[in-house]
């Protein structure tokens, strides 16, 4: 009986020793899954931060080109139209991303964008208190309710030089290209704020102020329309205007000096 008991104890001990490495091996993926996910998220965040730093490191700081962004969206046919029946059916499949997201990835626009908007007015510096006050509207009468990113006018204006009936024949034809940014699907375009700025820093900036908008595109991404106006007696010019609106979620609003690259404030925000 004693020999049988000893053999049973030996078998149980061997089983316990054999099971230990198996349990340790099975537990290892659970223990390492969280750090791997965290590492991947950190890497993605680092890539986004590096891209933003590259844009802000240029002199002068110009940010992303709104024309290039607009054209890339238009090329991928990303717009605000209602989705087709085929798009709605495809969206019901859980394993597939929305077509808009796929298009953003294809256009390399699924990233943080930086738009730089100069503010030539609305900035007041009080030398006695060293306080810089900002009160500026980034919109324009050409595109109300949107931050004006770029306005390009090509062609001569015939005002005061011809009459409406002869405008086109004399070559008074204009193309106006407007690109605006609609933040968070709202009409917030004003900048209010104040900060303390040493006189030496204000002297270095020398009136060179701009707003840097860190954002990511959001649906409907782009609206694009063209309008034509025939010459009139008040405006004897044949004018075609293209107005493109980009839609985005704003992550941060900075006050910068584009020529020097100085970041003066990171705590601004857009308001009505």
Number of domains in the chain: 2
Other C-beta atoms lying within 10 Å of the C-beta of residue 119: 16
Other C-beta atoms lying within 10 Å of the C-beta of residue 122: 15
Q: Judge if pTM exceeds 0.75.
A: no
Q: 102, 154, 140, 117: which is closest to 255 by C-alpha? A: 117
- Six-digit token pair at 145? 């309710």
Specify whether 90 is located in the same domain as 22: no
Specify whether 31 is located in the same domain as 153: no
Specify whether 233 is located in the same domain as 244: yes
Specify whether 31 is located in the same domain as 62: no
Specify whether 247 is located in the same domain as 119: yes
> Biggest alpha carbon distance in the chain?
123
Domain that holds residue 244: 58-271
Q: 190, 177, 206, 227: which is closest to 65 by C-alpha? A: 177
pLDDT tens for the chain, residues 1 to 272: 444 444 444 444 444 444 434 333 333 333 334 444 445 445 444 544 666 677 777 789 999 999 999 999 988 765 444 444 554 454 444 433 334 454 788 778 888 999 999 998 999 999 999 999 999 999 999 888 999 999 999 999 999 999 999 999 999 999 999 999 998 767 899 999 999 999 999 999 999 999 999 999 998 899 999 999 999 999 999 999 999 999 999 999 999 999 999 999 999 999 98
CA neighbours closer than 13 Å in the CB half-sphere of residue 153: 9
Which residues, listed in sequence order, are joined to residue 121 by a DSSP beta bridge?
none
Specify whether 40 is located in the same domain as 111: no
Specify whether 180 is located in the same domain as 204: yes
Specify whether 41 is located in the same domain as 105: no
d(CA 247, CA 184): 7
Specify whether 113 is located in the same domain as 17: no
């Amino acid at each position: 009986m004693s020999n049988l008991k000893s053999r049973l104890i030996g078998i149980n001990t061997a089983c316990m020793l054999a099971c230990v490495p198996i349990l340790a091996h099975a537990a290892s993926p659970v223990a390492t899954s969280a750090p791997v996910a965290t590492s991947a998220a950190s890497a993605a965040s680092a890539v986004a931060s590096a891209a933003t730093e590259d844009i802000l490191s240029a002199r002068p700081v110009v940010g992303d080109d709104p024309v290039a962004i607009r054209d890339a969206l238009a090329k991928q046919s990303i717009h605000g139209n209602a989705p087709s029946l085929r798009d709605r059916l495809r969206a019901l499949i859980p394993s597939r991303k929305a077509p808009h997201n796929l298009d953003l990835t294809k256009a390399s626009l699924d990233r943080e964008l930086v738009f730089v908007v100069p503010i030539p007015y609305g900035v007041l510096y009080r030398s006695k208190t060293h306080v810089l006050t900002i009160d500026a509207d980034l919109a324009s009468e050409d595109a109300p309710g949107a931050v004006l990113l770029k306005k390009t006018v090509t062609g001569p204006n015939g005002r005061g030089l011809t009459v409406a009936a002869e405008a086109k024949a004399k070559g008074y034809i204009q193309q106006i290209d407007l690109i605006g940014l609609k933040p968070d699907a709202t009409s917030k375009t004003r900048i209010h704020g104040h900060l303390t700025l040493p006189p030496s820093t204000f002297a270095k900036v020398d009136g060179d102020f701009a707003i840097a908008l860190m954002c990511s595109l959001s649906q409907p991404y782009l609206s694009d329309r063209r309008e034509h106006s025939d010459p009139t007696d008040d405006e004897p010019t044949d004018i075609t205007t293209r107005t493109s609106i980009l839609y985005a979620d704003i992550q941060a609003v900075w006050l910068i000096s584009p020529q020097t690259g100085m970041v003066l404030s990171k705590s601004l925000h857009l308001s009505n």
